[in-house]
Homo-oligomer: A and B are copies of this chain.
Amino acid sequence: MAERAAGPGRVGRRRALDEAEVVDAALRLLDRGGVEAVSVRGVAAGIGVAPNTVYTYFPDKAALLRALAERVLAEVDHAAAGSAGLPWRDRVHALAADLRARLLARPGAVGLLLSAPMDGPHALALGETLLAVLGEAGLAPREAARACYLLIVQVLGSVALEVAELEEGPVPAERERVAARREALRAVPAEHFPRTAAMADTVAEYISTEQFTWSIDRVLDGLTAVRPAPTGDAPGTDGTGAPGTGTPGRGRRS
């Protein structure tokens, strides 16, 4: 049904496609059936062209998928992160939430982002925006950069695990996905996994927005927690790499 892409600029029969048109077709397939639905032949069929025509625009399928990943990142809304009125934590949350929402809306997309280097212009733009917010938060540039990666990893990783549980087809509402997890977790044998079984309700909520927000909050706490200054004063190499030394906070409440 209406596979032919009713773009207004179509002139005669088939002429002068461009990269964007090919990526559009790929995106349509991605939205319908996830990453594995994106095939060179499918894309070609989607724009009414022979399979090998795709190779006029991309050297191989991997290049097409990278372009598709970039295309998805292009839609992320940087505005919320940029609005200077908000506290910086809210701006990080806004950016993280927007990225998550976009990726949940296209269940195949996160796998794409995690399986190719994030080095395209829109990936860079995302990092740049986040760097700006973290810089305004008072983090030193080096810390801000590391924090940037930490946050991106957290967002992409959690969406990936969320999406991994989805069946084909439309994405159920969050509360139903949580309910399904809760049900499945009833099968966990308490004699082998006592803590997991005891906390099944919380484990069921791993994929929830609340857990997502909580995680980001803990990360932000960690980024701003007071900790002993690195050995020297020079910003060159600092010795924070050694694990376990320096335990600034301590567990509280029982």
Binding site for B on A (CB under 8 A): 86-87, 89-90, 93-94, 97, 111, 114-119, 121, 124-125, 127-128, 131-132, 135, 137-142, 144-147, 149-150, 152-154, 156-158, 160-161, 164-165, 184, 188, 192-196, 198-199, 202-203, 206, 209-211, 213-227, 229, 240-241, 243-244, 246-254
Kindly report which residue of chain B lies nearest to residue A230, judged by CB atoms. B253
Q: How far is the CA of A153 from the CA of B119 in the complex (A)?
A: 22
Knowing A114-B111, A249-B221 are in contact, say whether A157-B153 is a contact too (CB < 8 A): yes
Structural contact, A196 and B111, CB atoms closer than 8 A = no
For A198, give its contact among B141, B202, B220, B251 (CB under 8 Å).
B141
Instruction: Return chain B residues, CB-CB under 8 Å to A93.
Output: 243-244
In the complex, are the beta carbons of B251 and A137 less than 8 A apart? yes
Minimum CB distance partner of A150 in chain B: B215
Would you give the shortest CB distance from A216 to chain B, in whole angstroms?
8
A219 to B250 CA separation, bound complex (whole angstroms): 13
For A223, what are the chain B residues with a Cβ–Cβ distance below 8 Å? Answer: 218, 221-222, 249, 251
Q: With CB as the reference atom, state the residue of chain B lying closest to A157.
A: B157
Closest to A219 in B: B222
In the complex, what distance in Å separates the CA atom of A116 from the CA atom of B198?
24
When the two chains form the complex, which single residue of B116, B164, B243 contacts A164, counting CB atoms closer than 8 Å?
B116
Smallest CB–CB gap between A1 and chain B, Å? Answer: 28
Which of these, B149, B243, B248, contacts A211 with CB under 8 Å?
A: B149
Given A128-B195, A249-B221, A253-B229; A154-B150 close (CB under 8 Å): yes
Q: A207 CB to closest chain B CB, in angstroms?
A: 9
> Which residues of chain B are near A193, meaning CB under 8 Å?
124-125, 127-128
Checking B114, B138, B222 against A161 with a beta-carbon cut-off of 8 angstroms, the contacting residue is: B114
A213 CB to nearest chain B CB (Å):
5
Complex-state Cα separation, A245 to B64, whole angstroms: 42
Chain B residue at minimal CB-CB distance from A136? B251
Complex contacts, A192 vs chain B, CB 8 Å:
121, 124-125, 128
A218-B147 contact, Cβ under 8 Å, with A89-B243, A128-B195, A138-B254: yes
What 4 A-B pairs have minimum CB-CB distances, sorted nearest first? A138-B251, A157-B157, A222-B222, A224-B249
Say yes or no: A219 contacts B219, CB within 8 Å. yes
Give the one of A165, A195, A216 with max B CB within 10 A: A195
Q: Is the CB of B195 within 8 A of A153?
A: no
